[in-house]
Amino acid sequence: MWDIILHPNNMVFSISICLMLLLGIFEGLLLIVGSTTQGFLDQFVPDQLSDLQHHPEIETQADHSLSVKFLDWLYLGRVPVLVWLIIFLTTYGLTGFICQIIFFKISAHYLPAWIIAPVCLFLCMPLVRVCAAIIAKILPKDETTAIHAEDLIGRKAVIVLGQAKQHSPAEAKVQDQFGQIHYILVEPESDIIFNQGQEVLLTQKTQQGFQAIEI
Encode pLDDT of 162-171 as tens digits: 899 888 899 9
Model pLDDT, residue 92:
96
Query: Is 98 or 4 the better-scoring residue by pLDDT?
Result: 98
Per the CB < 8 A criterion, the answer to whether 158 and 197 are in contact is yes
- For residues 102 and 177, membership in a common domain is answered with no
Q: Which long-range contacts (CB under 8 A, 24 or more apart) does 158-164 make?
A: 158/197, 158/198, 158/199, 158/200, 159/186, 159/194, 159/195, 159/196, 159/197, 159/198, 159/200, 160/196, 160/197, 161/196, 162/196, 163/193, 163/194, 163/195, 163/196, 164/188, 164/193, 164/194, 164/200, 164/212
Confirm whether pTM is higher than 0.75: no
Q: Is 20 helix (H, G, I), strand (E, B) or coil?
A: helix
Q: Of the candidates 116, 138, 160, which is a domain's last residue?
A: 138
CATH of the domain at 191: 2.40.50.140
Give the residue from 138, 171, 198 where a domain finishes.
138
Calculate mean pLDDT across residues 10-32.
87
Is pLDDT of 47 > 70? no
Residue 143 lies in a domain: no
Q: Are 110 and 10 in contact (CB under 8 A)?
A: yes
Question: For position 72, what pLDDT does the model report?
Answer: 81
Nearest C-alpha neighbor of 185 from the set 203, 213, 156, 206: 206
Task: Give the pLDDT confidence score for residue 21 in this predicted structure.
Answer: 93
Considering the domain architecture, whether residues 130 and 199 belong to the same structural domain is answered as no
> Whole-number mean pLDDT of the chain?
82
Total domains present in the chain: 2
Whether residue 62 is predicted with pLDDT greater than 60 in this model: the reply is no
Is there a domain that residue 194 lies in? yes
Q: Is the pLDDT of residue 51 over 60?
A: no
Check whether 146 has a pLDDT greater than 60: no
Angle between helices 47-54 and 62-73 (to 10 degrees): 70
The residue ranking higher by pLDDT, 59 or 131, is: 131
CA distance 137 to 206: 38
Residue 153: burial class (beta carbons within 10 Å; 0-12, 13-18, 19+): middle
Domain enclosing residue 208, as ranges: 149-214
Helix (H, G, I), strand (E, B) or coil at 184: strand
183 in the same domain as 103: no
Return the closest-CA partner of residue 5 out of 13, 74, 31, 137.
Answer: 13
The mean per-residue pLDDT over the stretch 178-203 comes to: 88
Task: Answer whether 201's CB lies under 8 Å from 191's CB.
Answer: no
Q: Considering 110, 138, 166, which residue would you say is the last residue of a domain? A: 138
Domain-embedded: residue 144: no
Q: pLDDT band at 202, cuts 50/70/90?
A: very high
Is residue 67 domain-shared with residue 98, that is, in the same domain?
yes
Q: For the chain, how many residues are written?
A: 215
37 burial type by CB count under 10 A (0-12 exposed, 13-18 middle, 19+ buried):
middle
| pLDDT band for position 188 (cuts 50, 70, 90) | very high
Higher pLDDT, 111 or 81: 111
Percentage of the chain beyond pLDDT 70 is: 80
Most confident by average pLDDT, 39-43, 89-93, 131-135: 89-93
